[in-house]
Amino acid sequence: MPESAAQQLVKLIAKAVQDIEEDISVRIPGGTPADVNLPQVAPEENLPLTAQRRDAIRTLKAATHQLLATLMPVGLQVQELQHSYLQTVAIGIAVEGRIADLIHSIDPESSKGGVHVELLAKKAGMDPRKLTHTLRFLALRNVFCEVTPNHWDNTRSSFPLRTDSPNSQWYYLKTNRENIALPALSELPAVFLDSQGGGATSWDPSQTAFQKYYKPDCGFFEFLEKSDNGLKAEMFGKSMIEMARATSTGAADYKPFHWEKLGSNGVLVDVGGGIGGAAYDISTYLPKWKIVVQDRPEVVKHGKENYQKKCSSADIEFEESDFFSDQPAHRVGKTDAYFLRRVLHDWPFTSCVQILTRLRRSAKPTTRLLICETGLVPGLVDSNSPILSNGGMSSSLAHSLNLCMLTLFNSEERSKEDFEEIFNSSGWKLQSVTPLASFLDWCIFEGVPNPDFH
């Protein structure tokens, strides 16, 4: 009797678990995966992400979801999908009530057998029964744990809900819920089906679900800067730092790219580089290069302040520039590489072409263009594997962010073919695609100037 798809998936899961545990034990002698119920950052999460561990985690996630889809009654599966939005709601309640912080403040050593829900509810200003329902919903997903009836403690997965934990995602979760997840996403179906108003086929940034809900008369980032005296913009900036920390291992992410081929020294311009998060990482591989981080004036100000605080040895300069305008005159013909990390996914095709065309006009014949973005791959049925060809649910976060880009900007995460079209339309040739060590399916799309461009 041939081996069933379910049996193949079970073997893949077992092999993935073995690979993960082996990777941890090698780099933490005698180490094993941390107990999910312990309120701490698991030691293995501080390890650089090896190819073995990354591939095994991707396989585990994909195979587990595929196994459930294979064996679960389809009606139950669809119901689970439909109700998944409640996870966002429940986490939002815990974040707003600062439940993880309250538990830690009352029982910082987790030595009192948990904190009674009555006390948590009183301090959070909530009803204890309603809070209990929410916490039990989250506990099914290992976010918080009920030690004894009505007594609650933090877990490995509720630890990031604390505002003071080293792996905190409090700002990210709050910003995502308030500005994206619930309000704007609720308008996405209406925009997709707006055949009369033109929204259905429009890629205009002024016709997004975000615009339909908020009606701000400005773009997303300007809206953040104008709201609450800039508080939303400040929170968004902090949320992006938290997201990067949660999905990235810093400089190790960029190791797969062959930086040495750029040469031993030169000038790299990090276009739209924020306060320099990526610049510090890639300076590890370009120690003798000058890295110029370009962004809006208010961002550059924060970048300079942060650079002074970090006391970094990297040769980093911060410069005001608008990537929809020409490069500063002193950069024209003097830049060896342009680097853009997660900039283009905020913009539709025509805007991306405008941005890269400006860079092409200021480039030397030898200038390299390095675009760091998610590389989307369609999930095709694979006759040689029970898992979809793109890794199935291992790519779920990348595809989730894709819908967020549609919601906010009428933009998208893109495939290799999409980037090739953008490069060709802006005077560049796609030369290579290098997958990076990231759970977000990041790649570096490398381009060189097209000599036939005019």
**Measured distance CA(442)–CA(339) in Å, rounded:** 14
* pLDDT (0 to 100) of residue 180: 64
Instruction: Please return the burial class of 337, using the count of CB atoms within 10 Å of its CB with bins 0-12, 13-18 and 19+.
Output: buried
- Tell me which residue of 247, 227, 307 sits closest to 273, measured CA to CA: 307
The arithmetic mean of pLDDT across residues 393-422, rounded, is 95
Q: 285-304 pLDDT, tens per residue? A: 999 999 999 999 988 998 89
Where residue 403 falls among pLDDT bands split at 50, 70, 90? Answer: very high
Is 181 a residue whose pLDDT tops 70?
no
| pLDDT tens track for 325-362 | 999 999 999 999 999 999 999 999 999 999 999 999 99
d(C-alpha 316, C-alpha 300), whole Å: 12
Supply the pLDDT for residue 46.
Answer: 84
Higher pLDDT, 301 or 366: 366
Question: Are residues 284 and 253 in contact, defined by beta-carbon separation less than 8 angstroms?
Answer: no
Each residue of 60-86: pLDDT tens digit?
A: 999 999 999 999 999 999 999 999 989
> Is the per-residue pLDDT at 405 higher than 90?
yes
CA nearest neighbour of 430 among 375, 374, 370? 370
305-324 burial, b at 16+ Cβ within 10 Å, e below that, comes to ebbeeeeeebbbbbbebebe
Encode 402-431: b = buried (16+ Cβ within 10 Å), e = exposed: bebbbbbbbbbbbeeebbbbbbebbbbbbe
How many other C-beta atoms can be found within 10 angstroms of the C-beta atom of residue 158?
26
Residue 208: count of CB within 10 angstroms of its CB: 27
pLDDT tier for residue 269 given thresholds of 50, 70 and 90: very high
pLDDT class of 236 with cuts at 50, 70, 90:
confident
Q: List pLDDT tens digits, range 122-148.
A: 999 999 999 999 999 999 999 999 999
* pLDDT of amino acid 339: 99
Return the pLDDT at 144.
98
What is the distance between the alpha carbons of residues 389 and 56, in angstroms, rounded to a whole number?
16
Residues of the chain above pLDDT 90, percent: 74
Angle, alpha carbons 165-283-322 (nearest 5°): 90
pLDDT band at residue 196 under the 50/70/90 scheme: confident
If you average pLDDT over each of 33-42, 189-198, 281-290, which comes out highest?
281-290
- The per-residue pLDDT for 291 is 98
| Maximum mean pLDDT: which of 114-123, 171-180, 433-442 | 114-123
Residue 317 confidence (pLDDT): 96
Q: What per-residue string of b and e applies to 87-105 under the rule 16 or more CB within 10 Å gives b?
A: ebebbbbbbebbbbbbbbe
Mean pLDDT of 200-227: 89
Supply the pLDDT for residue 437: 87
The hierarchical CATH code for the domain 248-375+414-449 is: 3.40.50.150
Q: Residue 179 pLDDT > 70, yes or no? A: no
Max avg pLDDT among 216-220, 243-247, 410-414: 410-414
- Closest Cα to residue 112, out of 150, 165, 138, 151? 151
83-161: in CATH 3.30.70.330: no
- Does residue 427 carry a pLDDT above 90? yes
Q: Tell me the domain boundaries of the chain.
A: 5-79, 83-161, 170-244, 248-375+414-449
Q: What is the mean pLDDT of the chain?
A: 93
- Tell me the pairing of strands 428-435 and 267-271: unpaired
SS (H, E, C) 405-431: HHHHHCCCCECHHHHHHHHHHCCEEEE
